[in-house]
Structures are given as structure tokens and as C-alpha cells.
Amino acid sequence: MSLITSRTPLRVSFFGGGTDYPEYFQRYTGAVLGCAINQYIYISALKLEEFIGYSYRLSYRIIEEVNEHDEIEHPVFREVFKWLKFEKGWNFGVLSSLPARSGLGSSSSFTVGLLHLLSAIRQSNFTRYDLAQTAMFVERELLRENVGVQDQIHASYGSLNRYEFKGNQFTIHPVRMHSDTRDQINSSLYLVHTGVQRYASQVVQEQVEKTKENRIDRELSDLYALTITGQAAFELQDPECAVKEVGALLNQAWKIKRQLTKSISNPDIDAIYDTAMSAGALGGKLCGAGGGGFVLLMVPPHAKMKVQESLGDRKLIPIQMDEVGSVILRS
């Protein structure tokens, strides 16, 4: 068998983050508005020759060469292989265009990509719905992680969508965006790394507990409402008006998100955000659970140079929307 690779996008969430946890949407309706982006996790697989003295070779941050599932250190590889009773004799390699633990849903993108790859190897192709649901099961049930359910859906489906959650189901509301608006949005989206990597499952623990105790219902309800207003902003016919309105709503959402827990922001993150806003950014937010990772900024083209100069050594990383989700590449 030739080399087979899954390419799975990372994501940015514009509005609604926090309402995608079952601790919230089992009681109320939750929703997120976000998109997959053109930054990816690649997982490749190649069949091992029989004479090689190990059953699995896994190359990621470290290299593992093992014979049994239980010997695998990487928790997702180990638990997925055990659950699927995946056959021996495979070499896997992982590459990513941006660092992990940075608020872009990389853990879920990895899980989606691995499941997609294994289904392709076994010729049992998942639907995108099955792919997202299975990744949720792996992360929440097998791995017992404190994760929401938006990241798996963004990675599976791609594009810019509003996802609504109620009970055990989710519905998809595609954003009806004009091509001129899409291009203007794409030319205005940037990431800035804070220099801090963290485990989202640990950072978000306080927020999940407060959600269970109904202590942040008002803030989460406000974030849910912004998914509706935000979709209307993306669907405006005038591209410049759309960018300005989305930027203003992002700024509003960031002010609400900072109130969820004390660990979401810190003086360094606030300094990055405030500096960019003073230099001409229209809005933004910290990506993911908080505490570090990437800051998302909406910067109109005419302000890019001034914003970059104001941030000094912190580079503006341009991103665009990915419109296809997780795919299989063969060579």
C-alpha cells in the first residue's frame, strides 16, 4: 500500500465558545460561529515490512517503536487503536503547520484526522457527521477530556458555519456569505502567538465547574446571542461594513469571555490585544480556552503595517478560511 495521509484543518471560533459544552447545552441551547482555517495537521501512514522488529512506529514530538497497544505513550493513538482493535504493522507520522496547545483546536483536529485516516485504511469511510460524533466520543468518553464539541465539527466539516447544540444533537447553519465579503474577511484575519502553550482541558476546568453551578449563565447566554448577530454581520452585502461589524462584535465577545474565569487572560495577553487595537485592529479575541496560545485579530489591509510595527517581534500570521474540512490524500 502506498503512503496515505489525512489533512485536517485547525479552527478559529468567532462567537459562542463556552456554550458548546454539554454542561451548558443539556440545559439551554448552545451555539458557536466559527470556521476551519488553512493551517493543518497531517497524519501519514505507511505499511511496515514484516521483518521489522516492532509492530507500530509513531513519529510525532517523539518516536515510539512498540509491539502492543498498551505500550503506546501517545494517549489518542493508544486509546483509538485499542478501541478499534487496529491491526499491527503500521508506521505513522504527524506534522503540523502551527504549534499544538495554542487554542486552535489541534487536539480535536488530530483526533478527527486519525479517525479519518484509519477509516480510509480500512476502507470504511466515515460520513462527516460520523467523523465528528466519533471524535467527540473518543475525547469525552475514552480520554475523559474537558472538551467542548465545536472543534471536532469544525475539523470534520470545514468552512464557516453556525452550529447549534441542544440535548444530544447539533444542527448546521451555513453562513450565506458573498464572495467579495469572504475575500475581504480572508484578507483581514491574523493570528498572533502569545508565546505560551497550555492544555485546554486543564485551563477550562474552572469554567466547566462554574457552568455546572449556573454561575455564568448570563455571560454564556450573551455569547450565544452573539452567534446570531455575528452570522447576520458576515452576511452583509457590503464587504467593508461586514469586516467592521464582525470586528466590533469580536471586541464585544472578548469583553464577555474575559469575565468567565480569571485564568482566561493575563497582562501579557491584554497588552497584545490593546496594542493591536490602538494601532488599527477592528477587534479580536484569544483563541480557545484561555491562558495563552493565539490571539485572533481582525485587521483591515490598510492597517496591517501599523499593527505589525506596534507588535514588534510578534508576527502577524495571515490565515484564511478552509472550505473542505478533513480530507484524505494519497501518493
pLDDT tens track for 245-265: 999 999 999 999 999 988 899
DSSP 3-state of 309: helix
Residues 6+ apart with CB under 8 A from 124: none
Count of other CB atoms within 10 angstroms of residue 22: 17
Q: What is the CATH number of domain 179-318?
A: 3.30.70.890
Burial 78-116 (b: 16+ CB within 10 A, else e): bbbbeebeeeeebbbbbebebebbbbbbbbbbbbbbbbb
CA distance 139 to 96: 20
- The residue-averaged pLDDT of 203-209 equals 83
**In this structure, are residues 250 and 284 in contact, taking their beta carbons and an 8 Å threshold?**
yes
CATH architecture classification, 4-176+322-330: 2-Layer Sandwich (3.30)
Name the CA dihedral angle for 204, 208, 211, 216, rounded to a multiple of 10 degrees.
-20
Mean of pLDDT values over 210-220 = 95
Closest CA to 7 of 129, 101, 96: 96
Flag whether pLDDT at 111 surpasses 80.
yes
Q: Structure pTM?
A: 0.94
Burial 178-205 (b: 16+ CB within 10 A, else e): eeebbebbebbbbbbbbeeebebbebbe
Phi/psi for 317 (5° steps) reads -105, 110
The Cα–Cα gap between 325 and 57 comes to: 27
- In tens, the pLDDT along 25-84 reads 999 999 999 999 999 999 999 999 888 889 999 999 999 999 999 999 999 999 999 999
**Contacting residues for 123 by C-beta, under 8 A, at least 6 apart:** none
Average pLDDT, the chain: 94
Identify the CA nearest to 228 among candidates 18, 30, 28: 30
- 116-135 pLDDT, tens digit per residue, is 999 999 998 889 999 999 99
Angle 306-311-316 (CA atoms, 0-180°, nearest 5)?
80
Determine the distance from the C-alpha atom of residue 199 to the mean position of all C-alpha atoms in its chain, rounded to a whole number.
Answer: 13
* 127, burial (CB in 10 Å: exposed 0-12, middle 13-18, buried 19+): exposed
* pLDDT of res. 51: 81
Q: How confident is the model at residue 198 (pLDDT cuts 50, 70, 90)?
A: low
- Cα dihedral across residues 176, 181, 186, 188: positive or negative: negative
pLDDT of residue 331: 84
Q: Which grid coordinates are listed for 63?
A: 518516536
Residue ranges of the chain that CATH labels 3.30.230.10? 4-176+322-330
pLDDT of residue 196: 82
Q: Band of the pLDDT at 200, cuts 50, 70, 90?
A: low
Cell of 187: 484578507
**pLDDT tens, position by position, 269-313:** 999 999 999 999 999 999 987 888 999 999 999 999 999 999 999
Rounded Cα distance, 24 and 223, in Å:
12
**Residue 93: its H or E element:** strand 90-96
Residue ranges matching CATH 3.30.70.890 in the chain: 179-318
- Over pLDDT 70: what percentage of the chain? 98
